[in-house]
Structure 1
Amino acid sequence: MNWKSEQNSKSPMTSWMPEWLQLCVRVAIRLFILGLIIFLLIAGYYGYRAQQFNLDKVAEQQQQNVLLDTSGLQLQLTNAKFQDCITQDDLPPHLIDALIAREDTNFQTHCGVDFKGLIRATLRNIKDMSFTQGASTLSMQLARNTYDIRAKSIDRKLLEIALTLRIEQHYNKEQIMAFYLNRIYFGSGCYGVEQASQKYFSKPTKDLNISESATLVGIIRGPHIFSPLRNLPAAQEQRDQVLDRMVDIGRLSPAEAKQIEDTPLTLHQSDSESADTVRCNPYAMKALDRHLQEILAEKDVREGALTIQTTLSQQSIETAQQDIDQLLSENGDQELQVACVILNHATGAIHCIIGGKSYTHSPFNRALDSKIDLGNAFTPFIYAAALERSKPPIKGQPAQTGKQLDPNDMVGIAKRFGFKGPFNSEEIFYGSATCTPLELATAYATLANEGKRPHTYYIQEIKNRQGESIFKNTPSPKPAIQPGSAKATLDLLNNFQGITSHSTTAFGGRALWSMAKSGDLTAVLWLGYDQPEPVPNSSELIRKMRKITHSWVN
């Protein structure tokens, strides 16, 4: 037999097959070999790329955000008790069970990648023609969060898988669990489980009970919307879902889960951080944090190490606090409360906000949340409405001026100034409306800003750890009244050396107001009681308040 006949001889394994089936087998074998070569090339390529990453970074704690005031001074210092990373020894067993139940049932057995889940998710993505499913394990989430691999693409997913396999080879499961919990974002500015445990429950991670552990795990999928400080009912619902999953995998009995679910979630939030981490007034820091969390939620930002350029001025805050402390100490009335706002009326940037006499005794922020009688403080806006409707303002006679105007129209103009009410249209020309000090500051700033109402804010820009801008605030004033009406209104008020001001009382001294503007700044100061009643010696206090607000804008 020559070589040709040997070449044409059939393999014993396929000799029984029809010719067409033999052809299919040969093609399949060649495609398999080709596919294997392509797979090895792809695996080698992404394996090489994964080797370029430093795995020591996985064990690093998520860095805290840096808050800067207008002069570049750091406003917030990291609390020492939040710097310590937890280890696997600090994790209560029920926290591990809750995390595995909710996020990665096969965590203890897979190699870092759940290939069955990944194939299922891939098929679903192909069907949906989009990246709707991820099938990420805890290890994959750790890789993604450590190296900020967030873009939804095949390239990024393959790199994430390669990095995950490296992490699994380098660290054991217990270490990976601890690293994950040290790095993940838990909402309300909490990076890592220890900070979240202290923030929400005022206790270290190792002391968490089952309910608290399930709550923290429930936050992970939606840290902004499920933070118990933002939405307690939603956080409790997520806790119950985690408990149900623990029952499903046999880590909790139905009776135990039912007992916990029937118990309302109780927070023990500590404000002790204000003494350790806040260098400026805690009212200002809490207001800033409120604004920051809204932005992070809207942009779905979960990474740490952000550089946050705020609009707050520590110098302005310290000066205002000193003036207020002196004013209150001279008065001697322990029940008298205070609130103030200083802002740039051209941009809306808030430089100072103080919401009470003492944050320790009362964290309620009156500058943002307290509805206070306006009384004669509403007079400038009655003048403005008259000018807007081509009616003559009668100086010192707001009620008489108002007789020329329609009350409902006045309510509409007041809303354009930023007042939210409630309004009593029949009594509105007598100053019957209530407002927050921030609303009054915004309204007065509208007069100072040629009739354009500024959008107030505390954060100018946010940059990520790479220095890239992920948020930037652009001033966006809205026209409220004509520029001529705004200027003519200011001309009717007190003018002294370039400072335009209006200081007055509401309803027999139940609220004392002073507002002033000069240059780019507008300031509002309020004195009164939480339960409205006449303030003694109001005339002398008004005189001192006027002097203070003049100094703030001068």
Structure 2
Amino acid sequence: MRILLGILGALVLTVVAGLLYVYAQIRFDAYGIIDYKPKLTTQIFDRHGKLVANLFDGEHRLYVPYEAIPPRVVEALVAIEDTSFFEHGGINVEAIFRAAIKDIQAMKLVEGASTITQQLVKNVVLTRDKTFQRKLNEVVLAFKVESELTKEEILERYLNHVYFGHGYYGIKTAAQGYFNKELSELTLKEIAILVGLPKAPSAYDPTRNLDLALGRANQVLSRMNTLGWVSEEEYITSLNELPLVYDETLTKNRAPYVVDEVIKQASIYLEDLRHGGYELHLTIDLALQEAGHQALNREKIAILERNPEADEALLNGALIAMENGSGEVLALVGGVDYGQSHFNRATQSSRQPGSSFKPFIYQHALDAGYSPLTLIPDISRVYSDKETEDDWKPRNYGENFDGLVTLKEALVRSRNLATINLLSALGLDVVHRDLTRAGFERLPQDLTIALGSFGISPLAYAQLYSAFSNAGEMVSPLIIKKIKDRFGNSQTFQASKKRFTSPEQSFLMVDILKEAVEQGTGKRAQVSGLEIAGKTGTTNNNVDAWFCGFSPEIEVLVWFGNDDNTPMNKSETGGRSASTAFADFMKEYLALYPQTRRAFVRPNGVESAVIGGKEEYYTTTSPLPRPSQGSNGAQEGGLIF
């Protein structure tokens, strides 16, 4: 007897020593569970809280705290996976003995008998290899985890970590992915489908094998019914339910051009953008983003129908829409088809703005004391370059010239010669200096800038153009409104602003650009019931076509052209293609937001007088010329060359 007891004692000591040895080797692995810090998906939302996209690195996981997990989810999980979960200390001894007998009979591991705690250990820090060593490690770590964490903390980690198939990690991710629902919105049948998935995620994926997923869910329901955790009536109802299952991409990217720009901007602040579990709240309006995309696509189709010889693969467009006062970007469309080209023409391209740039020169003239009725010469001149000895003889669109015209008429009709003569009179060096200070970059220091002979992206141009739409104050485009981390801390952003001209001087330009839409080159940009101001732009050989316009509340820039800078057809001008797309977008905007302000408001300091039967505006800086009538209905006392 003593010998037997000695043998048993030695065996116990050996087992204890072995367990202590194993524990010493792997104890630190438990802290991967205890101090749980998983990779979490960052989500991007539009201004109305609609999901724009998911960003993740490897594992798409949305975290949910235990308090937000419905009790029915816990009941269903415990029922099918580990009924005695709340009673055991990490392992189920009875189940282990039962499984051990089967393993011995088969001479290999065939049944795991794993508790939820053991499954958590296996998923987080161990491999899935079916070996006795791995099983021993699992048991030891399960005891360690149970000694450090509460049952609720274990369940929280389990439900957030395990794989639910289809690329979904964590039950919140799976609920949103498969059913487009939050956990609190799930039916009992949907819960049963989800908790049944971890056993065989690929086999039970309802987007691939719905019958198998439903069969597994019914097993979960049956177990709950047997335990008395659901009533017979609820059990029968759930058995007959057929949930709607969605099969969507993991990113759910609804605005890829926007998302690319957001990643670029957010990466400045967040090193762990793709796995830090942030919420990025944007200024973007998904409905208007779609409206912009559709407007570009419809006009591209129209261009191709007008020009069958055009290259469909090269022809493209871009659209930027932003609020006048806040700079909040409502839509950013970088091309007609992201699937064909990821190049973001709204932010990355550098295209010549053509005549759409002219208002900046005319605003400079107004601020220098010119009035909308000042006369300027629309005549042809030859400009010689002393260094190259080359001559430059600019022309008007249409090859004609009109002699003396008012400043207002020259811009409304987009007269090239009048603009060049005006720039020359103002002083190229002075205008170049002031526009560079205002924010323009790489402006050529010659008279060709009057025709917009420099490159700029639509997004950068939108900021500069806000000088007209925002009462003389440039506002930087704002896309990311708020960044919120997983702990609830948030950082908000606002656009920066820079004064370009006074509100009253800016209004003089607004009135001119309004007439450019009503009677000038931008007629196709008109929208019934909404005042629109704006300017067309078409570069040499119809390489670029622009319309830069605004209503009392939002500004929209549209560009069309070929990606390789080859000419479009001569019929494709800013006044045709870009203006039409602008109007198309603005009509949808008006339908979505009929409460928008419809008319421009004249600021204090702007006076008016009826001249030639028409109301004309002026300020103390830009007074009207002398009363006697001059040519073209203008007044004398204007610019004389």
Distance 1:68 1:479, change over 3 A: same
Q: Distance in 2 between matches of 1:68 and 1:370?
A: 26
| Corresponding residue for residue 74 of structure 1 | 51
| Corresponding residue for residue 576 of structure 2 | 543
| Corresponding residue for residue 343 of structure 1 | 322
Question: CA offset at residue 348 of structure 1?
Answer: 1.4
Distance 1:84 1:533, change over 3 A: closer
Q: Distance in 1 between matches of 2:249 and 2:367?
A: 49
Is 2:420 aligned against 1:399?
yes
Query: 5 Å matches for 1:227-246?
Result: none
| Corresponding residue for residue 46 of structure 1 | none
Is 2:498 aligned against 1:498?
no
Question: CA offset at residue 551 of structure 1?
Answer: 4.2
| Corresponding residue for residue 39 of structure 2 | 62
Q: Distance in 1 between matches of 2:573 and 2:544?
A: 14
Question: CA offset at residue 80 of structure 1?
Answer: 10
Q: Distance in 2 between matches of 1:419 and 1:75?
A: 32
Which among 462, 469, 483 is matched to residue 503 of structure 2?
483
More moved, 396-405 vs 275-284: 275-284
Distance 1:399 1:285, change over 3 A: same
Which among 267, 288, 295 is matched to residue 316 of structure 1?
288
| Corresponding residue for residue 296 of structure 1 | 270
Q: Distance in 2 between matches of 1:336 and 1:438?
A: 19
| Corresponding residue for residue 326 of structure 1 | 298
Question: CA offset at residue 75 of structure 1?
Answer: 0.8
Question: CA offset at residue 349 of structure 1?
Answer: 1.3
More moved, 389-398 vs 274-283: 274-283
Question: CA offset at residue 513 of structure 1?
Answer: 0.3
Question: CA offset at residue 79 of structure 1?
Answer: 6.6
Question: CA offset at residue 468 of structure 1?
Answer: 2.4
Question: CA offset at residue 78 of structure 1?
Answer: 5.7
Is 2:345 aligned against 1:366?
yes
2:352–2:455 CA contact under 8 A, matched in 1: yes
| Corresponding residue for residue 473 of structure 1 | 493
Q: Distance in 2 between matches of 1:520 and 1:438?
A: 18
Q: Distance in 2 between matches of 1:362 and 1:454?
A: 29
Distance 1:527 1:451, change over 3 A: same
Which among 423, 436, 442 is matched to residue 421 of structure 1?
442
Q: Distance in 1 between matches of 2:496 and 2:573?
A: 39
| Corresponding residue for residue 567 of structure 2 | 534
| Corresponding residue for residue 449 of structure 1 | 470
Identity of aligned pairs, percent?
Answer: 22
1:345–1:446 CA contact under 8 A, matched in 2: no
Question: CA offset at residue 378 of structure 1?
Answer: 0.9
Distance 1:462 1:81, change over 3 A: closer
Point out the structure with the larger helix share.
Answer: 1
Question: CA offset at residue 306 of structure 1?
Answer: 1.7
1:423–1:434 CA contact under 8 A, matched in 2: no
| Corresponding residue for residue 114 of structure 1 | none
Q: Distance in 2 between matches of 1:474 and 1:435?
A: 23
Query: 5 Å matches for 1:169-318?
Result: 276-296=250-270, 304-318=276-290
Across the aligned residues of Structure 1 and Structure 2, the Cα RMSD in angstroms comes to: 3.5
Count residues in correspondence. 322
SS in structure 2 at match of 1:526: strand
- For residue 459 of structure 2, what is the amino acid of its counterpart? L
Unmatched runs of 5 consecutive residues or more in structure 1:
1-53, 86-165, 172-178, 184-190, 192-273
TM-score, length of structure 2 as denominator length: 0.46
1:514–1:526 CA contact under 8 A, matched in 2: yes
Question: CA offset at residue 295 of structure 1?
Answer: 2.7
Q: Distance in 2 between matches of 1:283 and 1:57?
A: 40
Question: CA offset at residue 361 of structure 1?
Answer: 2.8
2:436–2:443 CA contact under 8 A, matched in 1: no
Superposed CA offset, 1:171-224 (max 9, x none) = 9xxxxxxx9xx99xxxxxxx9xxxxxxxxxxxxxxxxxxxxxxxxxxxxxxxxx
Question: CA offset at residue 330 of structure 1?
Answer: 2.5
Q: Distance in 2 between matches of 1:301 and 1:364?
A: 22
Q: Distance in 2 between matches of 1:436 and 1:451?
A: 21
Is 2:481 aligned against 1:507?
no
Distance 1:544 1:374, change over 3 A: closer
Query: 5 Å matches for 1:56-205?
Result: 56=33, 58-59=35-36, 61-77=38-54, 82-83=59-60
More moved, 392-401 vs 283-292: 392-401
Question: CA offset at residue 336 of structure 1?
Answer: 0.9
Which among 585, 603, 610 is matched to residue 552 of structure 1?
585
- For residue 430 of structure 1, what is the amino acid of its counterpart? L
Question: CA offset at residue 539 of structure 1?
Answer: 4.5
Distance 1:352 1:275, change over 3 A: farther
1:310–1:459 CA contact under 8 A, matched in 2: yes
1:512–1:538 CA contact under 8 A, matched in 2: no
Question: CA offset at residue 519 of structure 1?
Answer: 2.7
1:372–1:434 CA contact under 8 A, matched in 2: yes
SS in structure 2 at match of 1:294: coil
- For residue 366 of structure 2, what is the amino acid of its counterpart? L
Which among 447, 461, 468 is matched to residue 482 of structure 2?
461
Question: CA offset at residue 382 of structure 1?
Answer: 0.9
1:373–1:432 CA contact under 8 A, matched in 2: yes
1:454–1:477 CA contact under 8 A, matched in 2: yes
Q: Distance in 2 between matches of 1:307 and 1:486?
A: 38
2:541–2:570 CA contact under 8 A, matched in 1: no
Superposed CA offset, 1:236-263 (max 9, x none) = xxxxxxxxxxxxxxxxxxxxxxxxxxxx
Question: CA offset at residue 472 of structure 1?
Answer: 0.8
Q: Distance in 1 between matches of 2:466 and 2:249?
A: 33
1:308–1:459 CA contact under 8 A, matched in 2: yes
Question: CA offset at residue 542 of structure 1?
Answer: 3.3
1:347–1:477 CA contact under 8 A, matched in 2: no
Q: Distance in 2 between matches of 1:75 and 1:288?
A: 11
SS in structure 2 at match of 1:359: coil
Question: CA offset at residue 404 of structure 1?
Answer: 2.0
| Corresponding residue for residue 431 of structure 1 | 452
Distance 1:465 1:81, change over 3 A: closer
Q: Distance in 1 between matches of 2:288 and 2:59?
A: 29
Distance 1:528 1:275, change over 3 A: farther
- For residue 70 of structure 1, what is the amino acid of its counterpart? R
- For residue 465 of structure 1, what is the amino acid of its counterpart? R
Distance 1:355 1:275, change over 3 A: farther
Question: CA offset at residue 418 of structure 1?
Answer: 3.2
Q: Distance in 2 between matches of 1:275 and 1:414?
A: 46
| Corresponding residue for residue 630 of structure 2 | none
Distance 1:303 1:285, change over 3 A: closer
Q: Distance in 2 between matches of 1:513 and 1:541?
A: 4
Q: Distance in 1 between matches of 2:429 and 2:460?
A: 20
Superposed CA offset, 1:378-405 (max 9, x none) = 1111111111222346232321221221
Q: Distance in 1 between matches of 2:55 and 2:325?
A: 33
2:57–2:274 CA contact under 8 A, matched in 1: no
TM-score, length of structure 1 as denominator length: 0.52
Q: Distance in 2 between matches of 1:521 and 1:427?
A: 30
More moved, 72-81 vs 61-70: 72-81
2:334–2:344 CA contact under 8 A, matched in 1: yes
1:424–1:432 CA contact under 8 A, matched in 2: no
Question: CA offset at residue 527 of structure 1?
Answer: 0.6
